[in-house]
A and B are shown apart, each in its own frame.
Chain A
Amino acid sequence: MRLTWRGAEFRLLLPILLLVPLGFLVTNIALTGALETGDMTLAVGFVALFVVAHVVLVASGHRGDQLILPAVGALGGIGIIMLNRLPQDLAGTSAFGLELGMAATQLLWFAVGMIVMLAIAVGLRDDGILRHYKYSWAAIGIALLAATLVLGYEVNGARLWIDLGPVSVQPGELLKIVLVVFIAGYLAETRTLLTSARMRIGFLSIPPLPYFLPMLVLFAAVMLIVVVLNDLGTALLFFGTFLTMLFVATGRRSYVLIGLILFVAGAWVAYQLFGHVQARVDVWLDPFADPLGAGFQPVRAIYALGRGGVFGEGLGQGLVTLGGSLTIPFVHTDFIFTAIAEELGLLGAFALLGFAMILVFRGLRIAALARDDFGALLAAGLTASLGLQTLIIIGGNTKLIPLTGITLPFVSYGGSSVVASFIMIGLLLAISHRSGSADEEAAG
């Protein structure tokens, strides 16, 4: 095995290794009012994780993209600084005789995710296992959903969680990946049929149904269950990812147009039928109608954004407490962007968006350079999923769209979300490794 000197990755990781300890230091000074470093264990642990990942990639001769790991490091770094700054009793684990606070638990999940990511990035030399068993993957996805439907329990009105002894998991996070793998496999096989054959209704050309129906049926089933589970954010995410992949595979604008029409129709029906959807939309349109009841969350979030302004209140100096507890609800998961925007201001929020954009840009580049259609579609789908998830939750935080509870990838607290996001990065690295080695062969 040959080493590859991943210079760009190294150069970009260096300042991030500085960023996290600096963030911890500033937080500690602001919170205690004393010139002390405080407990740096978690910052050092976080930094060590990324150093180890970099070394493993170098040692295994990995030729994949060099910018996505640092981008993940920047997002995760901002996340862990914020989670360390928040009260540690918001979440945490007490398993195997260990009592861990919120930030420590998050770091633990980062370690798990990183191991999975490296295993995929280095170990997945052949995508046949993903490509050829796509129906098995679809079956696993359906099984995951069914398990949630039967065994799941509700948190905040959405039934997403399964209790597995010491940990609770969100199968929906894994389902997201499985679904992208299935759609990529299916579209790679039928892409040419979907583009060459055509049926027309009026001025719209629609996909030839015999080839399109199996995927449509499966997708409709998934959407139905997700809506029954009352997980609107995930439903929106799945739908957006699906449309993006369809467009990437066929290059037909009319398919996207049909999809959007279906979405608007579906949203209208859901608004008429379900009370909770109506409540969400009404709160979004006018949160101040009931500022202490239904509108409580968005009103708190808007005030926090206003307090932050352009420059922010400063790390550890914002986040008003009321009777000892923070006024922003779900500040460590759904509303972490709001907390970041309050303490680091518009400047910090823009930087965060910048890192997310770099991740998306590189993901699309990996898709464009992929050697085969399956790899290209998989990369495009994973990237669309990560990007849309970021867009949906930040849009919800800033009242651009109705709020739906999903996590901000790599930033929000949550084990399932962190591990799932790392799996996606692992797949992107594996895809880009194969096109990277191919270029090398062609050149030398």
Chain B
Amino acid sequence: MTAEILRILLLLAQLGFVALLYLILMRFAGSLLRDLRSAEEAQISSRSGIGRLSVLESPADEPPNGTTIALGPINSIGRNVNNTIFVEDDFVSANHAMLTFRGRSWFVEDQGSTNGTFVNGHRIERPVALSFGDELTIGRVRMRLDR
């Protein structure tokens, strides 16, 4: 008789174990769904652009240190205030460089500046494709291209 009871208990425990497995899976599914929804909202509110520049170092604080600049498809960079990205630094030319999004990639081209444009520490001679995470140095201002 006790053997019978034990068998039934064991069967229940076994069922409980599998049920718990699926309960955990359901909880995971719930978390996944919540994340997807909040990600959708975040997408609508902020991250819909094609890229942004994070300002790593800016001696004159224009653009301000630590900020991010949202990018359009075509961005001119220079000391002239008519540029899309205005940079206040004595080592930057009036029309310094052009940052463009073509096809599926970012490209940067020097506009004949005096002190040159640098990608990851190397001076560029012709238009160069940028990857996300690359560092762009213009004068003494260092910026990073981010998604």
> CB within 8 Å of B: which residues of A?
8, 11-12, 15-16, 18-19, 22-23, 25-26, 29-30, 33-35, 66-67, 70-71, 74, 78, 188-189, 191-193, 195-196, 251, 311-312, 314-315, 344-345, 347-348, 351, 354-355, 358, 361, 365, 370-376, 438-439, 441-443
Interface residue? B23 (CB, 8 A): yes
Is A26's CB under 8 angstroms from B10's CB?
yes
Is A71's CB under 8 angstroms from B131's CB?
no
**Smallest distance from the beta carbon of A423 to chain B beta carbons, Å?**
22
Is B129's CB under 8 angstroms from A35's CB?
no
Is B68's CB under 8 angstroms from A196's CB?
no
Q: How far is the CA of A15 from the CA of B16 in the complex (A)?
A: 12
Is A358's CB under 8 angstroms from B131's CB?
no
Is B131's CB under 8 angstroms from A12's CB?
no
When distances are taken between beta carbons in the complex, the residues of chain B under 8 Å from A442 are 46-47, 68
When distances are taken between beta carbons in the complex, the residues of chain A under 8 Å from B35 are 8, 67, 365
When distances are taken between beta carbons in the complex, the residues of chain A under 8 Å from B46 are 442-443
When distances are taken between beta carbons in the complex, the residues of chain B under 8 Å from A78 are 21
When distances are taken between beta carbons in the complex, the residues of chain A under 8 Å from B10 are 26, 29-30, 314
Assuming A29-B13, A358-B28, A372-B146, is B23 touching A15 (CB within 8 A)? yes
Task: Tally A-B pairs: CB < 8 A.
Answer: 117
Is B147's CB under 8 angstroms from A29's CB?
no
Q: How far is the CA of A25 from the CA of B11 in the complex (A)?
A: 13
When distances are taken between beta carbons in the complex, the residues of chain B under 8 Å from A348 are 18, 21
Interface residue? B124 (CB, 8 A): no
Assuming A15-B24, A23-B17, A371-B146, is B6 touching A8 (CB within 8 A)? no
Instruction: Give 7 pairs: A residue, B residue, CB < 8 Å, sorted on A.
Output: A15-B24, A22-B17, A192-B131, A371-B132, A371-B133, A372-B131, A442-B68
When distances are taken between beta carbons in the complex, the residues of chain B under 8 Å from A11 are 27, 31
When distances are taken between beta carbons in the complex, the residues of chain B under 8 Å from A35 are 6, 9
Interface residue? B50 (CB, 8 A): no
In the A-B complex, the 8 residue pairs with the smallest Cβ-Cβ separation, listed nearest first, are A372-B133, A192-B129, A351-B21, A373-B131, A314-B14, A26-B13, A372-B132, A15-B24
Q: How far is the CA of A96 from the CA of B126 in the complex (A)?
A: 62
**Smallest distance from the beta carbon of A303 to chain B beta carbons, Å?**
21
Cβ 8 A contact of A18, one of B20, B28, B104: B20
Interface residue? B42 (CB, 8 A): yes
Assuming A29-B10, A33-B6, is B31 touching A22 (CB within 8 A)? no
Cβ 8 A contact of B20, one of A22, A311, A372, A438: A22
Cβ 8 A contact of B25, one of A314, A351, A371: A351
Interface residue? B105 (CB, 8 A): yes
Is A25's CB under 8 angstroms from B13's CB?
yes
**Smallest distance from the beta carbon of A336 to chain B beta carbons, Å?**
16
Is A355's CB under 8 angstroms from B25's CB?
yes
Q: How far is the CA of A95 from the CA of B147 in the complex (A)?
A: 50
Q: How far is the CA of A351 from the CA of B132 in the complex (A)?
A: 37
Is A15's CB under 8 angstroms from B27's CB?
yes
Q: How far is the CA of A374 from the CA of B132 in the complex (A)?
A: 8
Q: How far is the CA of A18 from the CA of B20 in the complex (A)?
A: 9
Cβ 8 A contact of A438, one of B17, B21, B131, B146: B146
When distances are taken between beta carbons in the complex, the residues of chain B under 8 Å from A345 are 18
**Smallest distance from the beta carbon of B36 to chain A beta carbons, Å?**
9
**Smallest distance from the beta carbon of B55 to chain A beta carbons, Å?**
12
Interface residue? B32 (CB, 8 A): yes
When distances are taken between beta carbons in the complex, the residues of chain B under 8 Å from A251 are 104
When distances are taken between beta carbons in the complex, the residues of chain B under 8 Å from A192 are 105, 129-131
When distances are taken between beta carbons in the complex, the residues of chain B under 8 Å from A19 are 17, 20-21, 24
**Smallest distance from the beta carbon of A68 to chain B beta carbons, Å?**
11
When distances are taken between beta carbons in the complex, the residues of chain B under 8 Å from A372 are 131-133, 146-147
Q: How far is the CA of A439 from the CA of B39 in the complex (A)?
A: 11
Most buried by B among A23, A345, A373: A373
Chain B residue at minimal CB-CB distance from A73 = B24
When distances are taken between beta carbons in the complex, the residues of chain A under 8 Å from B6 are 29, 33-35
Assuming A29-B6, A372-B146, is B18 touching A347 (CB within 8 A)? yes
Q: How far is the CA of A81 from the CA of B17 in the complex (A)?
A: 11
Q: Which of B28-47 contact A (CB under 8 A)?
A: 28, 31-32, 34-35, 42, 46-47
